[in-house]
Amino acid sequence: MTSGRYDCVVVGGGVAGLMTAARLSRYGAAVGVLERDLLGAGATTRNHGMVHSGALYARWHPEVVPTCLQAQAAYRSSFPKAISDIDTCCYFGTPATMGDYATRWRRDNLAAHEIDTQQLCELLTLTGQPPVQGFAVQELLIDTPALITDLAARCVADGVDLLLGTRVSRVVTADGAVRGVDTTTGSIDAANVVVCNGIGTHSVLEQSASQVTGELRSRLEMMMAFPGELPCALIGLEFGWPALAPAAAGGVVLASRYGAPQRFVRGPARWPVPTADTVALTGELSQWLRPGLLDETAGVAWMCSKTEHTRGSGDQWGTEPNYAVIDHRDRDGITGWWTVLPGKMTLALHASRTVAQAVTGIEPPLAMPARHEGSLVDVAELVDVTPWTAHQEAIPR
């Protein structure tokens, strides 16, 4: 790496950006993380917080199952304090669908065992519903604000500058190489730039005249949170059925739909939540779930974005959940510039490892060393809150 104000600027302070910065700083690089808001303010703190085994993708995206399994093990060893005690997901669907998934899980060496009807009735109201079969699979629920806090503290301890409230407009290049970035407050010199900006990647690449701009796709998913408790995650594998996960911090259940239609958008905005969709999902949860698990009268809803690199392998919804690390030397003739799209939080360790190796020439292990207690600074005020924080603050402790 050549000299400059920074060896590397990382654009975006979500999970993938902070993992990348933490990896680079451990190899002695001078790193600055530029985030337009608080850390984790995008999709990171607004999702279910599940690190997938790959069971969910075995039917439509079997190519990601091996990397998901690797990621689960690496997350467990890297961030033990951010992991929930709940480690099971009940996948349910019609017997035909579940039979197909069970066959695929066996093929992929994913451990799953059938849940008997009595156990299912502790979660679901089966009267008046189509015949349902359920399987338990080990999944990892993670406290995403705790994960972001852990990563930010590691970064600060290793000398990374966290520059919040800094909006990057474009990557500055000259003579086929990166020179830094332009921001709303001025220019920053850097020998390398890694863009991990989620939905904000659209505008950065467009303003930088990258050929990759048209290959990005962002979609919106409606999420809801309800006061309540679930003993496990619960995901219906028929299109449009509910998908629920208990928030890792407790007292809140997060809900969405599996395979629901998702609107495609370009760039960040304040997206309204469709009232009809919230009413419909709330009503269906009342019909599906055993009474007393949730308080369906106190739900809050928001729109969550996911940004992916389209490579022609999309499913019927147009989604491609695998991670992408784009080298702009190959696409734009610019050295020292990479764009990272983790696809989902599960694959952020893989994505950050790949780009860290590209920048340094050193291949780091997939897992990151677990931090030592009491060795890190307090960075909690730098981390964004979740949309369901008010529910958790109301819970007696």
Residue 138: name the closest of 121, 120, 113 by CA.
Answer: 113
Measured CA to CA, the distance from residue 23 to residue 31 in angstroms comes to 10
Cβ-in-10-Å burial (0-12, 13-18, 19+) of 96 comes to exposed
Name the residue with higher pLDDT: 388 or 246: 246
Phi and psi at 117, nearest 5°, equal: -60, -40
The answer to whether 170 and 181 have CB atoms below 8 angstroms apart is yes
Measured CA to CA, the distance from residue 121 to residue 119 in angstroms comes to 5
The pLDDT tens digits of the residues spanning 88-131 come to 999 999 999 999 999 999 999 999 999 999 999 999 999 888 89
pLDDT score of 1: 36
The pLDDT tens digits of the residues spanning 27-56 come to 999 999 999 999 999 888 888 899 999 999
3-state helix, strand, coil in the chain (%, to 5): 30, 30, 40
Measured CA to CA, the distance from residue 50 to residue 141 in angstroms comes to 5
Measured CA to CA, the distance from residue 249 to residue 252 in angstroms comes to 8
pLDDT score of 393: 47
The pLDDT tens digits of the residues spanning 353-382 come to 999 999 999 999 999 998 766 556 789 999
How crowded is the C-beta side of 224, counted as CA atoms within 13 Å?
28
The per-residue pLDDT of the chain, averaged, comes to 92
Read off the tokens for 194. Answer: 């890694």
Position 322 pLDDT exceeds 50: yes
Phi and psi at 180, nearest 5°, equal: 145, -150
The answer to whether 367 and 282 have CB atoms below 8 angstroms apart is no
Taking residues 280-287, report their average pLDDT.
Answer: 96
Position 286 pLDDT exceeds 80: yes
Read off the tokens for 71. Answer: 């990621």
Measured CA to CA, the distance from residue 386 to residue 250 in angstroms comes to 13
Q: What CATH architecture applies to the domain 6-379?
A: 3-Layer(bba) Sandwich (3.50)
Taking residues 211-238, report their average pLDDT.
Answer: 95
Read off the tokens for 200. Answer: 């904000």
pLDDT score of 374: 57
Measured CA to CA, the distance from residue 338 to residue 358 in angstroms comes to 9
The pLDDT tens digits of the residues spanning 47-94 come to 889 999 999 999 999 999 999 999 999 999 999 999 999 999 999 999
Beta bridge partners of 294: 228
141-160 as b/e: b if 16+ CB within 10 A: bbbbbbbbbbbbbbbbebeb
Measured CA to CA, the distance from residue 361 to residue 358 in angstroms comes to 6
Position 266 pLDDT exceeds 80: yes
Measured CA to CA, the distance from residue 257 to residue 26 in angstroms comes to 40
- Classified as helix, coil or strand, 322 is coil
Taking residues 287-292, report their average pLDDT.
Answer: 96
| CA 320 vs CA 51, 194, 221, 317: distances in Å | 17, 21, 15, 9
Measured CA to CA, the distance from residue 88 to residue 231 in angstroms comes to 8
The answer to whether 298 and 286 have CB atoms below 8 angstroms apart is no
Measured CA to CA, the distance from residue 350 to residue 280 in angstroms comes to 37
Q: How confident is the model at residue 4 (pLDDT cuts 50, 70, 90)?
A: low
Measured CA to CA, the distance from residue 60 to residue 262 in angstroms comes to 17
- Torsion over CA: 228, 232, 237, 243 (sign): positive
Q: How confident is the model at residue 268 (pLDDT cuts 50, 70, 90)?
A: confident
Helices (H) and strands (E) in the chain, counts: 10, 19
DSSP state of 294: B
